[in-house]
Amino acid sequence: MAHPALDLSGITVTFGGIHALTDVNLTLKPGQIHALIGPNGAGKTTLVSVLSGELKPDHGTVRLSGENINSLKPYQRARRGLLRTYQLTALFQHIPLKQNILLSLEARDRARLSIGDLFRFGVSKRYASEVAEILENFKLTDKADVVPSSLSHGDRRRLELAMAIIANPSVLLLDEPLAGLSTADAVALVEMIQHQLRGKTPVLLVEHDMDAVFSLADEITVMVNGNVLLTGSPEEVRNSEEVQAAYLSDEDDF
Amino acid sequence: MTALIAEQILNGLQLGILLFLIAAGLTLIFGVMDFINLSHGSLFMLGAYLSVTFIGMFDNFAFSILLACLSVFMIGAIFEVMLVRRLYNRNHLDHVLVTFGVILVANEAVSMIWGSVPIFSGLPDALSHQVSLPFGIEYPSYRLLVIFAGIILAGGLFYLINRTRLGMLVRAGASNRTMVSVLGVNIKLLYTLVFGLGALLAGFAGAMAGPLLSVQPGMGEAILIQSFVVVVIGGLGSINGALLAAILVGLIDTIGRAFMRDILGFVFSPSVASDAGPALSSMLIYILMALVLFFRPEGLVPMQKRN
Amino acid sequence: MHGRLEIQSIVIPLLAIAIGPIVALITDDVYVLHIFERALIFAVAAASLNLILGFGGMVSFGHAVFIGLGAYITGIMSNADITALWLQIPAILAVTGIVAMVMGLIALRTTGVHFIMITLALAQIFYYTAVSSSTFGGDDGLVIYERSTFFGLYDPWDSWQFYGFVAIVSLGLIWLVTAVTSSDFGLRLLATRENPQRSAALGFHVLGTRLLAFVIAGMVCGLAGMLLANQSEFATPGYANWQRSGELLAIVILGGVGLRMGPVYGAFAFILVEHTLASYTNHWALYFGLILILVVLFLHRGLAGLVERVLRPRAAKRPEFEEAR
């Protein structure tokens, strides 16, 4: 049997005695979009940090395609294809959008640092056609030379997503990709995720927007107070009284 | 030998106290305003020059020191209002460069006013004798005065910070900038006062150190760098850390300078020892700082940050 | 744009080496060559600092240590009758490279204010070593009796030929730094400046990238020290003290931090201000201090930014010219 794309078992994280995550298990199957939901403070962002390697868990193991990656640093995980986006967009603010994309392509093809980089020039020429295509796909063509710090929020979100997708990840973590977007922008981005990722890349989606979650997810994990409450299909989650009691009842957009 | 070591320890303590007075201002200004002030040493220099000048004018030691301190406080406050205030929302590189520029200006201004030749200010007669301490230690009374005055001022500073409303605001401001501004405090005035206070401490250190050093342009730089070492070892923004680190640096530096040659002499030939001794002793505090930063990057007593 | 050679980066350094001889010919005064030699040497040192400061976001307050190292190695070798550049240059590159590696490994563990302070402290360690090494002149410095030679291709004691030597080496080094910033590596370096966390999340080795830049900058600056030792026939601890490091930072800012040609503008402005003012007043540092304060306060992106705005008003907002944060 093929290994799951991503497999977490028994993840526990404490901050000064307080349990942020307690014995969290989660399995992301190849090709699936798996949503992670829960009220604020449920530990979703903590879990994403554990996955990307920015935070070390006290207990538990993280496996990427069956390989234990617990001891790997963020850049090493990224080189194995585990990429993430950030809740607050994290772009290279003062260099043009096109270069942001170039960096992502460079990371895909040649992440390793080598002295040879000093003697290689013309990265923009080498990737010219690919960059043009990406800009087209993500509707950013007319902003190619703009720096992210002067982009609109929606554009920045799209760029953030583009940079993660084009690096051809084996697993993609999307940390609240829709946060702060207008309805129209959110719909466009959901469309983009469907189109670009569905069936190709396994995605762990952390999101508050329930419409988006239920339209995208193949499977949903609900977390409350650092514990996994339930994992199941959207139908099961929607019908679970436990979930409704803990979470969904007081959520306006459900 | 015991007397010699005891004397050096007292010297180290005295240097430590001077360093603390300067470092306290630096670390306060950094903690509250997030501002790096390289020109803090220039305020030290001003304190020295002004006290020497006032002593010449009024022939009253205590009054001259007091007047020098108040003048430096005023100069610091004006400096804050005119220049520093514009830089709070800039990055640290800009702080470093502007205050580096201020050092150049201050040194040249001082040498234009007082000349570039070192000035030696005599001690008042009442303070220029030796005091007999227990264990047969003879120690200059003026240095003893520096230690006591420094301790008193340091005590006053701790009282101010831990017991008064101003101190409460300073502590709050150091750990949570936005909170203080919502409290409806006149934040501009607070910043000016904190800067002035830092200037006053540096000015006092300069005024007291004047008779022990040669008063000359650029005299602030050596002590500034040492004070920065103190601030970094203690933990940026931490007054308690600054005190601990200042005493530590003062003692290590003084004792190293006094005995390093002899210590090396046990192991190496005299010529090597006399060559390497001074080098190693000057380096000691920088090596200490590099070690502290390597093992405890936040310093010995890190400033408490509340979110 | 990135990866494309800019005409400016080729032409400005060529102009920079041409100004000296032109002025010397017009005024019929060979002495002015010495002033322009110094300007070129400082331009090289500042360019190497700009690589880590402007493109890597590392505010090193100890960069002058590499000038000191380069100068001392040159002086010590020359006085031992090893004047051949093909021996001196590898020695300088090896020593400065190793020192920069060690310094970088310690300092790059920290960021922000701590980085500023630890680079300062590490440079002071070298400074005090030089001050107390009586074998090499200690506090008084080391007088250098022989200038470096290169297979007898030029006469180092002929003013014109020596200027040619300084100009060619400087030109090469400035172009070298420009090439590094324009290479694929340069783009990665920018990425670590802009967002180290994101760089790592993409799979780049942030520390390694920074360290490589730090080492290259140290080695280039060491060669600037070699030039300075030859030019002044002297090596002194003063080359490596913290005021010198501060001046290098000031030159980079004056010229425009993170702008490829900024250091060239900055160094020429610095030397010319120094030289012009020094002939009127002993207190030229006062005016330099004032200029520095005003530039930081009001001249965003320095002289090169100003030139850019005058020459190409529409291109002035080009993002590549954003300063380091």
* pLDDT tens figures, C150-208: 888 888 889 899 999 999 999 999 999 999 998 989 999 999 999 998 898 888 999 99
CB contact under 8 A, A94 and C3: no
Across the interface, which of A90, A93, A95 has its CB nearest the CB of C197?
Answer: A90
Question: Which residues on neighbouring strands pair with residue A220, listed in sequence order?
Answer: A35, A232
Is A43 strand, coil or helix?
coil
- Is the pLDDT reported for residue A191 higher than 50? yes
Q: How many domains does chain C have?
A: 1
Q: How far apart are CA C269 and CA C39, in angstroms?
A: 8
Rounded to the nearest integer, the mean pLDDT of chain C is 88
Identify the band that residue B103 occupies on the pLDDT scale cut at 50, 70 and 90: very high
CB contact under 8 A, B229 and C250: no
Task: Write down which chains contact chain B via at least 3 CB pairs under 8 A.
Answer: C
Residues of B with CB under 8 A from a CB of C: 30, 36, 38, 83, 86, 90-94, 96-98, 100-105, 107-109, 111-112, 221, 225, 228-229, 232, 236, 275-276, 278-279, 282-283, 286-287, 289-290, 293-294, 297
pLDDT in tens, A145-169: 888 888 888 888 888 888 888 888 8
Q: What pLDDT is attached to residue A247?
A: 65
Summarize the confidence of residues B239-257 as an average pLDDT: 90
CB contact under 8 A, B101 and C250: yes
Q: What pLDDT is attached to residue B130?
A: 78
pLDDT in tens, C61-93: 999 999 999 999 999 999 998 889 999 999 999
Q: What pLDDT is attached to residue C320?
A: 44
Phi, psi of B198 (to 5 degrees): -60, -45
Is C82 strand, coil or helix?
coil
H or E stretch at C37: helix C32-53
Q: For chain B, what are the domain ranges?
A: 2-295
How close B294 gets to chain C, by Cα (Å)?
A: 7
Q: What pLDDT is attached to residue C169?
A: 95
Q: How far apart are CA A18 and CA A122, in angstroms?
A: 51
Least confidently predicted of A222-236, B292-306, C134-148: B292-306
Burial class (CB in 10 A: 0-12, 13-18, 19+), A80: middle
Q: Does the residue C317 lie in any domain?
A: no
Q: What pLDDT is attached to residue C249?
A: 93
Q: What pLDDT is attached to residue C3?
A: 43
Is A240 strand, coil or helix?
coil
- Chain C contacts of A123, Cβ < 8 Å? 2-3, 184, 187
A residues 31-90 lying closer than 8 A (beta carbon) to C: 52, 54, 73-76, 78-79, 83-84, 86, 90
Residues of C with CB under 8 A from a CB of B: 53, 59, 61, 106, 109-110, 112-114, 116-118, 120-122, 124-125, 128-129, 131-135, 242-243, 246, 249-250, 253, 257, 283, 285-286, 288-293, 296-297, 324-325
Give the percent of chain B with pLDDT over 70: 94
Q: With contact defined as beta carbons under 8 Å apart, do A36 and A44 qualify?
A: yes
Please tell me which residue of chain A has the smallest CA distance to C325.
Answer: A94
- Chain B contacts of C49, Cβ < 8 Å? none
Neighbours of C139 (CB within 10 A): 12
Residue of B83, B16, B33 lying closest to B198 (CA atoms): B33
Q: Do chains B and C touch (3 or more CB pairs under 8 A)?
A: yes
Q: How far apart are CA A192 and CA C207, in angstroms?
A: 34
How close B231 gets to chain C, by Cα (Å)?
A: 10
CB contact under 8 A, C183 and A103: no
Q: Does the residue C271 lie in any domain?
A: no
- Chain C contacts of B228, Cβ < 8 Å? 117, 120
Rounded to the nearest integer, the mean pLDDT of chain B is 85
- Is the pLDDT reported for residue A193 higher than 80? yes
Q: What pLDDT is attached to residue C314?
A: 59
Give the percent of chain A with pLDDT over 70: 96
Q: Does the residue C80 lie in any domain?
A: yes
Neighbours of B82 (CB within 10 A): 9
Q: For chain A, what are the domain ranges?
A: 1-81+169-254, 90-168
CB contact under 8 A, A75 and C204: yes
Across the interface, which of C131, C285, C325 has its CB nearest the CB of B91?
Answer: C325
Residues of C with CB under 8 A from a CB of A: 1-4, 179-180, 182-185, 187-188, 190-191, 194-195, 197-206, 208-209, 212, 216, 319-320, 322, 325
Across the interface, which of B109, B236, B276 has its CB nearest the CB of C286?
Answer: B109
Q: How far apart are CA C20 and CA C5, in angstroms?
A: 25
- Is the pLDDT reported for residue B48 higher than 60? yes
Please tell me which residue of chain B has the smallest CA distance to C122.
Answer: B286
Identify the band that residue B19 occupies on the pLDDT scale cut at 50, 70 and 90: very high
Summarize the confidence of residues B233-248 as an average pLDDT: 89
The correct CATH number of B2-295 out of 1.10.3470, 2.60.40, 1.10.600, 2.40.33 is: 1.10.3470
Residue of C140, C120, C134 lying closest to C59 (CA atoms): C120
Q: Do chains A and B touch (3 or more CB pairs under 8 A)?
A: no
CATH architecture of A1-81+169-254: 3-Layer(aba) Sandwich (3.40)
Q: What pLDDT is attached to residue B5?
A: 82
Rounded to the nearest integer, the mean pLDDT of chain A is 85
Please tell me which residue of chain B has the smallest CA distance to C283.
Answer: B108
Q: Where are the alpha helices (DSSP H) in B34-140?
A: 40-58, 61-82, 92-114
Q: How far apart are CA A204 and CA A6, in angstroms?
A: 9
Summarize the confidence of residues C120-132 as an average pLDDT: 86
Q: Of C126, C132, C242, which to mutate for an interface test with B (greatest number of B Cβ within 10 Å)?
A: C132
CB contact under 8 A, B102 and C116: no
Domain carrying residue C112: 7-240
Identify the band that residue C323 occupies on the pLDDT scale cut at 50, 70 and 90: very low
Q: Does the residue C127 lie in any domain?
A: yes
Summarize the confidence of residues C251-274 as an average pLDDT: 89
Summarize the confidence of residues A226-248 as an average pLDDT: 82
- Chain C contacts of B90, Cβ < 8 Å? 296
- To the nearest 10 degrees (0 to 180), the angle between helices B92-114 and B219-234 is 150
Query: Is A99 an 8 Å CB contact of chain C?
Result: yes
Q: B229-254: b or e for each residue (b if 16 or more CB lie within 10 Å)?
A: bbbbbbbbbbbebbbbbbbbbbbbbb
Least confidently predicted of B142-146, B173-177, C292-296: B173-177
Q: How far apart are CA A174 and CA A180, in angstroms?
A: 14
Summarize the confidence of residues C232-244 as an average pLDDT: 91
How close B134 gets to chain C, by Cα (Å)?
A: 37
Is A167 strand, coil or helix?
coil
How close C250 gets to chain A, by Cα (Å)?
A: 23
CB contact under 8 A, A124 and C4: yes
Q: With contact defined as beta carbons under 8 Å apart, do A98 and A131 qualify?
A: yes
Q: With contact defined as beta carbons under 8 Å apart, do C33 and C23 qualify?
A: no
Count chain B–chain C contacts defined by CB atoms under 8 A: 127
- Chain B contacts of C135, Cβ < 8 Å? 275
Across the interface, which of B93, B229, B275 has its CB nearest the CB of C133?
Answer: B275
Identify the band that residue B190 occupies on the pLDDT scale cut at 50, 70 and 90: confident
Q: What type of residue sits at position C108?
A: L
- Chain B contacts of C125, Cβ < 8 Å? 283, 286-287, 290
Across the interface, which of C2, C187, C194 has its CB nearest the CB of A94?
Answer: C194
How close A112 gets to chain C, by Cα (Å)?
A: 7
